[in-house]
Amino acid sequence: EADIYQTPRYLVIGTGKKITLECSQTMGHDKMYWYQQDPGMELHLIHYSYGVNSTEKGDLSSESTVSRIRTEHFPLTLESARPSHTSQYLCASEQGIGIQYFGAGTRLSVL
Amino acid sequence: QKEVEQNSGPLSVPEGAIASLNCTYSDRGSQSFFWYRQYSGKSPELIMSIYSNGDKEDGRFTAQLNKASQYVSLLIRDSQPSDSATYLCAVTSNTGKLIFGQGTTLQVKP
């Protein structure tokens, strides 16, 4: 069973608030990813990291930012949430090449 | 052209039938190929990986790879209603990044 955790599971906030979505893994994986997925739609890569102090933007433009200060921790921050940010956010870590383990996700709703 | 293409479906099969899910990819340099399953409201989970041409079997699942045709498929034998989910094909790019297809929704009808 994958040891990757996301908090909170659900979040409802008002427009303009700053939020941080947490993601932690205990598997020691260097590679970590953030995806955005609307219901019934495809996964979109928004950020990734190949190790401590390494972060890159993904294929989908996002107003969020990430940091990777510790191997096990890869938080995602929205400085000013908007209704267009309403979505599900999935965090994953990767073992070797291509074998990704996903967290349970955070469902974000911005009013 | 998308890097990894799948028919979004839904693909509907009766219980006990063979479900065949297909995927094509554009990068000839891709070396690793995966099938992830995503139940509605849940996160994706890896069910199969395949790295060389031919078939790879795991229980009721068989992954097939044809690099010359840039084609990957997943066969599910004796389909069960519990197999109803979205199946994501994923391929590693030449930079090592994993590229997901949009997924095929499978419905297995009792």
> Residue B31 phi/psi, 5° resolution?
-120, -25
Radius of gyration over alpha carbons of chain A, in Å?
13
Mean pLDDT of chain A: 94
Q: What's the rounded Cα separation, in Å, for the pair B94 and B24?
A: 16
Hey, which residues does B89 pair with through a beta bridge?
B35
Strands (E), A1-111: 4-7, 10-13, 19-25, 31-37, 44-51, 54-57, 65-66, 76-78, 87-95, 99-102, 106-110
What pLDDT does A92 receive?
A: 97
Cβ neighbours around B61 below 10 Å, total: 17
How far apart CA A55 and CA A45 sit, in angstroms, is: 13
Nearest to B43 among A94, A97, A105 (CB): A105
Tell me: the pLDDT tens digits for B30-39? 999 999 999 9
| CA separation for the pair B57, B12 (Å, rounded) | 22
CB contact (8 A) between residue A42 and residue B97: no
pLDDT of residue B97: 86
The 8-class DSSP code of residue A83 comes to G
Q: Find, in chain A, the residue whose alpha carbon is nearest to that of B96.
A: A97
- Residues on chain B touching A46 (C-beta within 8 angstroms): none
| Alpha carbon of A16: minimum distance to chain B alpha carbons (Å) | 27
Question: What is the per-residue pLDDT across B90-100, written as a single tens digit (0 to 9) for each?
Answer: 999 888 889 99
Q: In the block, which residue shows the tokens 């293409």?
A: B5
CA atoms within 13 A on the CB side of A102: 22
Q: How confident is the model at residue A2 (pLDDT cuts 50, 70, 90)?
A: low
pLDDT digits (tens, 9 = 90+) for B60-91: 999 999 999 999 999 999 999 999 999 999 99
Task: Tell me the per-residue pLDDT of A36-88, one tens digit each, with 9 for 90 and over.
Answer: 999 889 999 999 999 999 999 998 878 899 999 999 999 999 999 999 999 99
Contact yes or no for A52/A71 (Cβ under 8 A):
yes
Q: How far apart are CA A65 and CA B52, in angstroms?
A: 37
Q: Which of A42, A98, A102 has its CB closest to that of B49?
A: A98
* pLDDT at residue A100, rounded to an integer: 96
Which of A48, A98, A102 is facing B44, going by the closest CB pair?
Answer: A102
Q: Cα distance from B103 to chain A (closest Cα, Å)?
A: 7
CB–CB contact A42 B34 (8 Å)? no
